[in-house]
Amino acid sequence: MTREAVIESSADVVAVRRLVRSAAIEVGLSLIDQTKIITAASELVRNALVYAGRGELRVDVVENGAKRGLRLVVNDEGPGIPDIEQALTDGWTTGTGLGLGLGGSRRLVDEFDLLSKPGQGTTVTVTKWAR
């Protein structure tokens, strides 16, 4: 089942965490993995909110043979990321945060894919597999 959410305020970030939690429980992720994917979702949608002002999230349950997992696609139409390597470096930020959100999210999930071009928005796709 696909779930979708639009992020326009910080209250929506809270709603996203709840949405991802229920999906993660449904897929059968362990408590630690649930917390990891929820945290990654929280980081990614907040990035969309902070840098683009608005974003969209799609949550899909995916299967790979016997394995089930959760795939999140966070999409925004913001300014885009000019240097992706730099953006993924810990401690690097153009905002006021800790600069760990993007790089940290990559470590929290099993698969991480970032598509971005200056002026064309950013799409991050992450997947967490149930063990």
Q: Does 108 bind another protein (CB under 8 A)?
A: yes
Which of 43, 57, 69, 72: binder of another protein (CB under 8 A)? 43
Region from 53-61, 67-75, 101-109, 114-122 binding another protein, contact rule CB under 8 A = 101-109
- By CB neighbour count within 10 A (0-12 exposed, 13-18 middle, 19+ buried), where does 31 fall? exposed
For another protein, the closer CB: 53 or 119: 53
Comparing CB distances to another protein, the nearer of 13 and 27 is 13
Q: How many residues does the chain have?
A: 131
At 13 the three-state DSSP class reads: helix
- Separation between Cα atoms, residue 86 and residue 88, nearest integer Å: 5
| Among residues 3, 8, 17, 110, the one that binds another protein under rule CB under 8 A | 17
